[in-house]
Amino acid sequence: MAAAGKYTAEQIQVLEGLEPVRKRPGMYIGSTDVRGLHHLVWEIVDNAIDEAMAGHCDHITVMLQADGGVSVEDNGRGIPVDLHPTTKRPALEVVLTTLHAGGKFGGDDSGYKVSGGLHGVGSSVVNALSKKMRAEVFRDGKIYMQEYARGKPVADMKTMGKATKHGTKITFYPDDTIFDTMEFSIDAILTRLRQQAYLTRGITIAVLDEREKRPEEDKLFPRLYRFHFEGGIASYVAHLNESKERIGEPIHFEKEQPEGFVEVALQYTQTFQEHVASFANNIHTIEGGHHMTGFKSALTRTINAYARSQSILKEKDENLTADDVREGLTAVISVRLKDPQFEGQTKSKLGNAEMKTAVETVVNEKLSQYFEEHPSEGKDIIAKCFLAARARLAARAARDSVIRKGALEGMTLPGKLADCSSRDPSQCEIFIVEGDSAGGSAKQGRNREFQAILPLRGKILNVEQARLDKMLGNNEIKSLIIALGIGIGDVKDLTKLRYDRIVIMTDADVDGAHIRTLLLTLFFRYFPELIDTGHIYIAQPPLYKIARGKDIRYAYTDEQKFNVLKEWGIGEQDLEETEEVAADTEGMQEAEENFDSLTKETKKSKAPEPKKGGKVNIQRYKGLGEMNPDQLWDTTMDPENRAMLRVTNDDAEKADLAFTTLMGPEVAPRRKFIQTHAKGVKNLDV
Ligand code: TTJ
C-alpha cells in the first residue's frame, strides 16, 4: 500500500471506482466473516483517530444503533467539502466513493497517517460494502450531507442548514449480501477502542450500544461506555497489571527523535510473566520489529549498567540476560513515524530499521535517569532481575539433573492414574483433578473409554509460588509428565503425547487457583508447544445449581443464574431476598467440609412463590467434591454439555491477562472473566 500522508487533493490522479471492492471484499478487509464486519468499524474510527492525532479533535462517539447501523462522529475539522479540481466533485464525495482516496486532504502534512496491513484501506471501502451510508460534515457553520448506497451517491451533496459544532459523522449499514454475520460484538469493539484510547492520551472515546432497549442503569450491560486516559499508555500498563503485585508506579517517558516519536511505559510485577506490547502508529505490531528490538537491548544495557554502578553486579560477574530483565515486566512501546513498513506473516512487524536506534536512544537516556531519581524502586527492580537469573540457573541445573538421572525414562505409569481404555491419543483426554475426593467423583463419573483421571494432591503442590526447579523435583509433576508421555527438556517428544486434550479441573477457590497457576506455569514454561497447538484446557464446573421442584438448571456465571431466575419470573427485588442455601451433602464431601457447612449459617430460601412451580433453591458449588459423579459428568465432563476454556498463547495480551485473572487472588476479576468466556469451548484470545 502506498504511504499515505503525502498526497493532497490535487495529487490524487488515479481515481478508481469501487467495483473491485464488492467483487473481492476479502482483498480489502481480509474476510467477510465477523472479523471483516468489525474491520468496517476500525476503518472509520481510524479516520477520526487520525484527526485526533493531528491535534484537531478530542472526542469520538461510536454508536451501535438499534436499526443495525453504526455511526462514528468526531469533533474535528470535518472532511473538506470544496470541489476537487480534476473531478469537480466535492472532496467528501471523492473520499467516500473512490478507491485509494484515503490520503490527507487539504495539503496538511502534520501528524502521521496510519497506513499498513489491513488498516487505512479507506473509508470508501466501507462505503462500498455498506448497503447504505450517510456522511454529515459540520463545517464553517453549515451542515453538509450526502447519502450513498453500496458505494454510489444517491444524490448530490447538499447543505442542511446551520451547524454550531464542527466535525464529521459517518453512519453506515453493512451489506448483508456481503457479510456472513451482521452481529457486532460489543466486547470486541470495547477492547479495540479502549486500546486506541490508551494510545491517544487525552481523547475521549464514547461507545453507545442502542441495540437493545434496556434500562439506563443496567449494571451487567451498561449502554454507555467512556474511555479517557490522561495517563495514556502508563494507564494501559496499570490496567494490564491491575491484578498483579507491582513494583513502584508505571515508568513513563516520551521523546521526539529525528526518526520519529517514541513513547514507552513500563512497570515490573512480582510475577514470572513478561508482557511487552508494541505499537507503530497505533497499530499493534504483534510480531514486534525494530522498535521492540531497540527496547529490549536498551533495557538490558541500562539495567546491567545500573546494577554495576550500584556495585550490585561485580566486575567479574556475568551480566543479567535479556530474559532476566524481562521476567515480570509489563511494558507498552508506542512509536509514530512517517513511513511505516509492516512486514512478516501477518504484516504486523515493524520493518523500519531506524526505529531501533530511536527507541534505544530514548530508553537508554530516560531509564537511567529514572534509576538515578528513584534509587529505591531501582533497587527493587534489580533484585527482581537477580531473582530471575538465579531461578534460571537453578531451573537449568534441576532440569539437567532430572534428565541425567533419567528420572522420567522407563518409568511406569503412575499408580493413581486411572487411564482410559482407548489407545488412540486423538480420542483421549486426561483430567488433572485436584484432590482425592474430586478425583474419586471424576473416576466414577467419567467415560472410561476415552477419559483418564489423574488426581493431584493439592497439599503437596500448594507451596506458595513454587519455583520451577522445585516443580521438577515434585512427585506430582513427575507423575503428570510421565502420564503425558512426552518427556521433558532434551528428551521431549511431542509425537508421544498420549492425550489430545489435557484438562485442568480444579476448584473455584484459592487453592484451586494456586494449583492451576502451577500447572499453567509448567505448561507455559516447559511445554509451550502444547499451548500453541491447543491441547490445554481448563474445565468449567458450574457455579450454581438452581432447582425448582424437578427443574434443575446449572449456571456457570452470575449472569446465567440471573437469567434462569428471570425466566422463572423472579424479579430483581425478589432476588435480593433469595438466600443461597447451603449445599446438600450427598456425594463425596469430606468430613471437614461437612463440618464447615454445618457451622456456617444456612438460611432457607425466602424467595416468594413465583408464578408457577415450587420454591427455588440455589446451591453455590464451592468445590468439585460437592458434586456427585453424575453431576460432575453432566455439567463438566460430558463433551455434549460441558464448557471448557482452551488456553492459547496467540494474543499474548489477552492470554496474559486471562492468565493472571484466572490465577490471581482476587475473586471479582476472575468471575468477570469467566462470565465473558464460559459459553462453549472458547479461546482465551477471542
Ligand atoms: C483533512 O485535512 C483538512 C481538514 O480535515 C481533515 C480530515 O479529513 N479530517 C477528518 C476526517 N476528520 N474526521 C474525519 C473522518 C471522521 C470519520 C468518523 C470518518 C471519516 C471517513 C473521516
**What's the pTM value of the predicted model, to 2 decimals?**
0.64
User: How far, in Å, from the CA of 78 to the mean position of ligand 1?
Assistant: 5
- Residue with the larger pLDDT of the pair 458 and 241: 241
What percent of the chain has pLDDT above 70? 78
In 3D space, the residue among 598, 515, 611 whose CA is nearest the CA of residue 565 turns out to be: 611
47: Cβ below 6 Å to ligand 1? yes
71/552: higher pLDDT: 71
If you search the block for the grid coordinates 463438566, which residue do you land on?
636
Does residue 341 carry a pLDDT above 70?
yes
State if residue 97 touches ligand 1 by the CB under 6 angstroms criterion: no
pLDDT at 345 over 60: yes
pLDDT of residue 654: 46
Catalytic residues: 434, 507, 509, 511
Position 591 scores a pLDDT of: 27
- Mean pLDDT is lowest, of 64-73, 439-448, 508-517, for 508-517
pLDDT band at 296 (very low <50, low <70, confident <90, very high): very high
Between CA 447 and CA 482 the distance in angstroms is: 22
Is residue 102 within 8 Å of residue 121, measured between CB atoms?
yes
pLDDT confidence of 552, banded at 50, 70, 90?
A: confident
Best mutation site among 40, 50, 53, 79 for ligand 1, i.e. most ligand atoms within 8 A of its Cβ?
79
Residue 306: its H or E element: helix 290-309
Ligand 1: which residue has its CA nearest to atom 8?
79
pLDDT band at 273 (very low <50, low <70, confident <90, very high): confident
Amino acid 402 reads: V
Distance CA 111, CA 122 (A): 18
Query: What is the pLDDT averaged over residues 186-200?
Result: 92
| pLDDT band, residue 145 (cuts 50/70/90) | very high
Average pLDDT, whole number, for the chain?
80
Among 322-336, 540-554, 615-629, 641-655, which stretch is predicted with the lowest mean pLDDT? 641-655
d(CA 633, CA 442): 8
The pLDDT value given to residue 596: 30
Positive or negative: CA dihedral 408, 413, 414, 415:
negative
Cell of 652: 499474548
Segment 197-249, tens digit of pLDDT: 999 999 999 999 999 877 777 777 778 899 999 999 999 999 999 888 999 99
pLDDT for the residue 213: 77
Q: 19-228, which class in CATH?
A: alpha beta
443 lines ligand 1 (CB under 6 A): no
Q: Which residue type occupies 666?
A: E
What are the start-end ranges of the H helices in 213-286?
Answer: 233-240
Q: Which CATH number fits domain 409-541+645-680: 3.10.620.30, 3.90.1150.10, 3.40.50.670, 3.40.190.10?
A: 3.40.50.670
Which ligand 1 atom sits nearest the alpha carbon of residue 60? Answer: 18
* Least trusted range by pLDDT, from 8-12, 453-457, 623-627: 8-12
Among 168-172, 473-477, 489-493, 620-624, top mean pLDDT goes to 168-172
Please give the distance, rounded to the nearest whole angstrom, from the Cα atom of residue 529 to the centre of ligand 1: 45
Query: Can you read off the three cell numbers belonging to residue 569?
Result: 419470573
Identify the residue with better confidence: 447 or 644.
Answer: 447
Q: Which one is the CATH code of 233-391: 3.30.420.10, 3.30.230.10, 3.30.420.40, 1.10.15.40?
A: 3.30.230.10
Q: How confident is the model at residue 527 (pLDDT cuts 50, 70, 90)?
A: confident
- pLDDT at position 251 is 98
> Is the distance from the beta carbon of residue 74 to the nearest atom of ligand 1 less than 6 Å?
yes
Phi, psi of 367 (to 5 degrees): -75, -40
- In Å, how far from its chain's centre is CA 341? 25
pLDDT winner (highest mean) among 5-9, 165-169, 385-389, 536-540: 165-169
Residues 416/562, Cβ–Cβ less than 8 Å: no
77 lines ligand 1 (CB under 6 A): yes
SS3 43: helix
> What does the domain layout of the chain look like in residue ranges?
19-228, 233-391, 409-541+645-680, 544-620
- Ligand 1 in reach of 168 Cβ (< 6 A): yes
CA of 176 to the centre of ligand 1 (A): 27
- pLDDT exceeds 50 at position 473: yes
pLDDT at res. 403: 58
**How buried is residue 271: exposed, middle or buried, by Cβ count under 10 Å (0-12/13-18/19+)?**
buried
With 60 as the cut, is the pLDDT of residue 109 above it?
A: no
| pLDDT of 62 above 70 | yes
pLDDT at 427 over 60: yes
CA of 137 to the centre of ligand 1 (A): 9
What would the mean pLDDT of 311-331 be, rounded to a whole number? 89
State mean pLDDT over 189-200.
93
Return the residue whose CA atom lies nearest to atom 11 of ligand 1: 79
d(CA 50, ligand 1 centre) in Å? 8
* Closest Cα to atom 16 of ligand 1: 48
Tell me which of 51, 119, 205 to substitute to probe ligand 1's pocket, judged by most ligand atoms within 8 Å of the beta carbon: 51
For 467, half-sphere exposure in the C-beta direction (CA atoms, 13 angstrom radius) is 15
- Considering only residues 347 and 294, tell me which one the structure prediction assigns the higher pLDDT: 294
What is the Å distance from ligand 1's center to 139 Cα? 11
Evaluate: CB of 51 within 6 angstroms of ligand 1: yes
Ligand 1 contact via 44 beta carbon (within 6 Å): yes
